[in-house]
Structure 1
Amino acid sequence: MRFSIPGEVLEALQRLNDAGHEAYLVGGCVRDDYLGIPPYDFDICTSAYPDEIINCFLHEKRIEVGKVHGTIGVILNNIQIEITTYRKDGPYPDNRHPEYISFTRSLAEDLKRRDFTMNALAWHPSSGIIDLFGGREDCDRGIIRCIGSPAMRFSEDALRILRALRFASTFSFCVEKAAAFAMYEKKDLLKHISAERIASELNKLMVGARPADVFFQFPRILFEVLPLLEPMYHCPQRSVFHSYDVWEHTLRALDKTPSELAVRWAILLHDSGKPHTVTYDPDGTTHFRGHQRVSVRIARETMKALKQSKTLTDEVCLLVAHHDDRIGPDNLLSWISKLGSESFFKLMQVQRADLLAHAPHVAERVDNHDALVNRAEELINSGACLTLNDLNIDGRTLIENGFQPGPFLGETLNHLLDRVVNGFEKNDKQTLLSLAIKRLEEYNKRNNNINL
């Protein structure tokens, strides 16, 4: 292995070997190490049956909930190591889980049930890498190849279709031709997969090195799990501002984003409302008035269908809602204050990617955009007033000057912040206090008139 292996993992291997059992590191950790990527999750497969594994670690804390499937979790020095018995899988009636499994003493039997050749690599300190299916060569060539029949592999577990796409994005690999054909042939089986598992694979795919290329090559598979995006495919954009249809524009924008999950989801969904709002001039020019609102609705429905977290969903919808809004030198502070610095800069990443995917003469404006981002960073670093905490007046001061705790107090503080952020007032305590007292007097006068 190129990278160091935790001593606890080596100890687990040694204990199994000392008891007369085979034991190997297997799967992703071996693959990643071979590719020059530091592994972070070490799994062991062994010829030992579950009770034999337990006997090797009688005095250690163990997690045995996976025992029926051959997996025992062992805790060594607070590090959890999953140790799994070699096994063979029975038929997959639900296209996700084997109807039954059977344990085996054969490493080859265990490896041949796995999905892709690159994931069927095993390693032991004395033997090095065990590669029975050409996984190293496929890694060297950047190819995702199934073990055995691709159609059978994807029929057994349809989630493997999305795993293939995820690995293609993560490692910049290509899917082997026969596997790609089988993925399209079996894509309808994805309906058997839970939303949570689909979301997990898509999220990993989205933050990979090349999600746009994967979606460009396999759009119909994506639409199988994200059906609300399909109308974007070949939806025309005929105007002086665009060079590509909605789908190609979206993928070109996606290619320009940083590896930030919310930003990439927002870009994928930012124009999803356009096919539903398109109108045509007599000369064929397209318009998409109100598409932002429809895109937010589609974004929320999509994220909800995937059972994504509320935090991620709200963040994506916020970015989609504002992706077309004008941000300039005159309202920069207002936008930072409104969104908060973190969401503001993510919105600027969305707008930058969107800009670069327009027609060339529009994309040229990116220098102005970048200058605006630099200016925002300068304002934040200078300590500009952006939040209530930055105001040189607080609720306690207002209460000391006649305000009562309640909604009007909060409204007044927000009003003062708005005045400062938009440049109408200086962030000066006495100035703000005078403005607040005047507002309180007007408020009390209105209430007295109502009571009369």
Structure 2
Amino acid sequence: MVKWSYADPKMAEQSERVLQMLLHHGYEAYWVGGCVRDELIGRPVHDMDLTTSALPEQMVELFEHTVPTGISHGTITVLLHGYAFEVTTFRIDGTYENHRRPEEVTFVKSVVEDLRRRDFTMNAIARDTRGRYLDPFAGQQDVERGIIRCVGDPEERFEEDALRMVRCIRFASVFDYRVMHNTWKGLLNKRDKLSFVAMERIRVELEKVIAGAHPLKGLELLGRSKLLTYAKAAVDCSRFNRMLVRHMDRIPSVEVHLRWTLLLYSGHFSVAEAEQCLRNWTFTKQDKEQICDILKLDEEIKELINILEANDIGNPDLMKKQRVQWMSLVLKFGIVTAKRWIELHTLISQDEGHEVNEWMKLCSRWNTEMNAFHLKELDITGREVMALSGRAAGPWLGQMLNHLLLQVAVGVISNHKESLIREVERVDNNHG
């Protein structure tokens, strides 16, 4: 059995069973693409794609459980003991439609011809069941040198599939590789073809850049190439403030929403602009809200409590007022958004003055002093409040519950039913 250092052993075992089945019936078969590349680089292997001389209909007959994932292009998904493997027949591609997908493919018997159609040399390496590498385009050497190089003529590769240009920058960013001169030149010459690619496809690649280990490198390459000015939802990367964006590498990759917020913040995007931009880039509603809520909180903070004004620190009366205002904003936007806002401004505080960092420490302390964050934590229900007030449900009920939550959060009243009842009665008596 072939040893894989960076793949799940059970996944590797089942993928090899698929290869052995194909070999046993007289077909050629190899691991190919990303799994081979990542094993050579030393990165975790998340899936294992295979290539074979067997035709799609022959694979369907051979394996009990298959899915015709892309049967017209020779791809069958083989399901085996809980694992799914995409197996593609050796092929060469015909004319590409709209600089994205081949209109037709021709099945061939040579694995080298199949590897020749691939995008970059590091993705054009196959591995057999003896562990040997088939590497006709020196992809291993390029991995060792840390370079991105197209298979064959770069302009042809980018003309065929324009998304490869964004993938080129993504690979260079994530792997911290260099783009070879001819490949970069081909990218610049064909970048106008990116207008044919759906924004959803581009956005997926950009998300991987921003979530990767070296997002700043990816952004610099996007800026130098001006590639995104040719996208359907064009953006000028020169708008982003490099002095602020340079902090992105310090944000953990799991905080990808905060990385996106920093990017938009550095470009001085208003909330409306940011929402439109993310909508154009086909972000999900949930992702858009998580990113833009930090910008919304930022706008409200600057409008309500001037949190960035250094002279305010040390004024007891003002501190008391702003403590309440801060806590009300935490209740409105949520503690997660508040913490992300603090993290954002803590990062950039070195560019805006020491006092800003002092404000962040103060806001963090106020967070720890809050006694409640959600209405469900209150020791009283909406139904009980309606019974006390003798009124039917309406806008007043939400206002009353939010008032109670804020009073509990800041410590004016305790979160006990008796205290909450007294506050409801006090408000009713004073305001009706």
Common fold, TM-score beyond 0.5?
yes
Tell me the amino acid that sits aligned with residue 78 of structure 1. Answer: G
Q: Are residue 207 (structure 1) and residue 211 (structure 2) matched? A: yes
Partner of 2:164: 160
* In structure 2, distance between residues paired with 1:76 and 1:376: 54
- The structural deviation recorded for 1:64 is 1.5
CA 94–227 in structure 1, closer or farther in 2 if over 3 Å, else same: closer
Amino acid at match of 1:340: G
Opposite residue 372 of structure 2, the aligned amino acid is: C
How far did residue 81 of structure 1 move?
1.4
CA distance in 1, matches of 2:425, 2:296: 36
Partner of 2:293: 318
Aligned residues of 2:345 and 2:357 also touching (Cα < 8 A):
no
Deviation at residue 367 of structure 1 after TM alignment: 5.7
Deviation at 1:214, TM superposition (A): 2.0
Superposed displacement of residue 110, structure 1: 0.5
- Residues 352-371 of structure 1: pairs in structure 2 closer than 5 A: 352-356=346-350, 358=351, 362=353, 364=354, 368=358, 371=361
| Aligned residue number for residue 407 of structure 2 | 419
**C-alpha separation in 1, matches of 2:229 and 2:45:** 32
Spell out, residue by residue over 1:161-205, the C-alpha distance to the aligned partner (whole angstroms, 9 max, x if none): 110111122111121121112112211111000011011111111
In the alignment, the residues of structure 1 paired with residue 66 and residue 14 of structure 2 have an alpha-carbon distance, to the nearest angstrom, of 14
Distance 1:19 1:393 in 2: 71
| 1:223 alignment partner in structure 2 | 229
1:300 aligned to 2:275?
A: yes
Matches within 5 A, 1:206-355: 206-219=210-223, 220-225=226-231, 229-230=235-236, 233=238, 247-259=241-253, 260-273=255-268, 295-323=270-298, 325=301, 326=307, 330-331=323-324, 332-355=326-349
Aligned-pair distance for 1:18?
A: 0.4
Matches within 5 A, 1:20-419: 20-57=26-63, 60-219=64-223, 220-225=226-231, 229-230=235-236, 233=238, 247-259=241-253, 260-273=255-268, 295-323=270-298, 325=301, 326=307, 330-331=323-324, 332-356=326-350, 358=351, 362=353, 364=354, 368=358, 371-372=361-362, 375=365, 378-379=368-369, 384-407=371-394, 408-419=396-407
Q: Secondary structure at the match of 1:255?
A: helix
Which stretch shifts more, 389-398 or 193-202?
Answer: 389-398
Aligned length in residues: 403
Displacement of 1:414 in angstroms is 0.6
Question: Is the CA contact 1:271–1:295 (under 8 Å) kept in the aligned structure 2?
Answer: no
| Aligned CA distance change for structure 1 residues 228 and 335 (closer, same or farther; 3 Å) | farther
Distance 1:397 1:150 in 2: 70
- After TM superposition, give the deviation of residue 10 of structure 1 in Å: 1.4
The 1-side partners of 2:376 and 2:137 are apart by 61
Structure 1: which amino acid aligns with 2:385?
Answer: L
Alpha-carbon separation, structure 1, partners of 2:112 and 2:392: 72
Structure having the higher helix fraction is: 2
Q: Which runs of 5+ in 1 are unaligned?
A: 236-245, 274-293, 445-452
1:75-97: CA deviation from partner (whole Å, max 9, x where unpaired): 11232211110100112241111
| Cα deviation code 1:351-392 (max 9, x no counterpart) | 233334x25xx2x45764664576367457xxx212212223
Query: Aligned partner of 1:151: which letter?
Result: E
2:202 partner SS: helix
Q: Is the 8 A contact 2:345 2:356 kept in 1?
A: no
- The answer (yes or no) to whether the contact 1:216–1:251 under 8 Å persists in 2 is no
CA contact (8 A) 1:122 1:129 kept: yes
What is the distance in 1 between the residues matched to 2:369 and 2:47? 42
Q: Which amino acid aligns with 1:412?
A: M
Partner of 2:5: 2
- C-alpha distance 227-192 of structure 1, shift in aligned 2 (>3 A): closer
Distance 1:156 1:111, change over 3 A: same
Q: Deviation of residue 226 (structure 1)?
A: 8.1
Aligned alpha-carbon RMSD (Å): 2.5
| Counterparts of 1:71 and 1:21, CA distance in 2 | 16
Which amino acid counterpart does residue 434 of structure 1 have in structure 2?
R
1:287 aligns with none
Quote the Cα distance in structure 1 between the aligned partners of 2:230 and 2:249.
22
User: Aligned partners of 2:122, 2:421: CA distance in 1, in Å?
Assistant: 67
C-alpha distance after superposition, 1:287-337 (max 9, x if no partner): xxxxxxx52122111111111101111221111223463388835543432
Q: Is the 8 A contact 2:199 2:232 kept in 1?
A: no
Shift of 1:420: 2.6
Aligned counterparts of 2:25 and 2:409: Cα–Cα separation in 1: 71
- Rounded to whole Å, the distance in 2 between the matches of 1:54 and 1:253 is 51
C-alpha contact 1:45 1:84 (8 A) present in aligned 2: yes
Aligned amino acid, residue 204 of structure 1: K
Find the aligned partners of 1:427 and 1:210 in 2 and give their Cα distance: 46
Give the Cα–Cα distance (whole angstroms) in 2 for the partners of residues 353 and 391 of structure 1. 35
CA distance in 2 between partners of 1:317 and 1:122 (Å)? 44
Asked whether the 8 Å contact 2:125–2:139 carries over to 1, the reply is yes
Deviations 1:71-120 (A, max 9, x none): 11111123221111010011224111112110011100000110011111
Matching residue's letter, 2:342: M
Of 421, 425, 431, the residue aligned with 1:437 is 425
